[in-house]
């Protein structure tokens, strides 16, 4: 009888539960990641005196969405077609004219647009 109990006894693993994983979304912050890119590459020309688009910290978000000459510069439905992205990726013009923004920073801006371009 003892042999029967030892052979028939399996370690109870408990019920099979689904594995739940949480995706970590790397949320892009406008103030901490996007605006510094503008500060480094854009505000030399796109300041308060620029007739079409001021990308200084005080005004950039509002200008991109509302008051810039060709606003909105952001298209969250089709991020790659955003005027902002088309300019920095060289599809419409070469911006900035003194040299391209590095791909990693272009991708940061694109990812921010894909995440609905929040003012965070």
The reply to whether 75 falls in a domain is: yes
The reply to whether 17 falls in a domain is: no
Question: Is pLDDT at 38 greater than 90 in this prediction?
Answer: yes
**Residue 35 contacts by C-beta under 8 Å, 6 or more apart in sequence?**
57, 60
The reply to whether 98 falls in a domain is: yes
The reply to whether 57 falls in a domain is: yes
**Residue 79 structural domain:** 27-114
- Number of folded domains that form the chain: 1
* Dihedral, 28, 31, 106, 79 alpha carbons, nearest 10: 60
30 in Cβ contact with 120 (< 8 Å) = yes
The reply to whether 1 falls in a domain is: no
The larger pLDDT score, comparing residue 101 to residue 14, is at 101
Question: Each residue of 60-88: pLDDT tens digit?
Answer: 999 999 999 999 999 999 999 999 999 99
The reply to whether 92 falls in a domain is: yes
């Amino acid at each position: 009888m003892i042999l029967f109990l030892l052979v028939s006894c399996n370690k109870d693993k408990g019920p099979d539960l689904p594995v739940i994983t949480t995706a970590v979304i790397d949320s892009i912050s406008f103030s901490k990641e996007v605006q510094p890119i503008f500060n480094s590459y854009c505000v030399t020309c796109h300041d308060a005196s620029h007739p079409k688009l001021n990308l200084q910290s005080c005004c950039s978000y509002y200008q991109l969405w509302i008051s810039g000459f060709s606003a909105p510069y952001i298209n969250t439905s089709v991020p790659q077609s955003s005027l902002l992205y088309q300019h920095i990726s060289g599809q419409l013009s070469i911006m900035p004219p003194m040299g391209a923004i590095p791909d990693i920073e272009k991708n940061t801006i694109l990812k921010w647009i894909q995440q609905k371009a929040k003012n965070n």
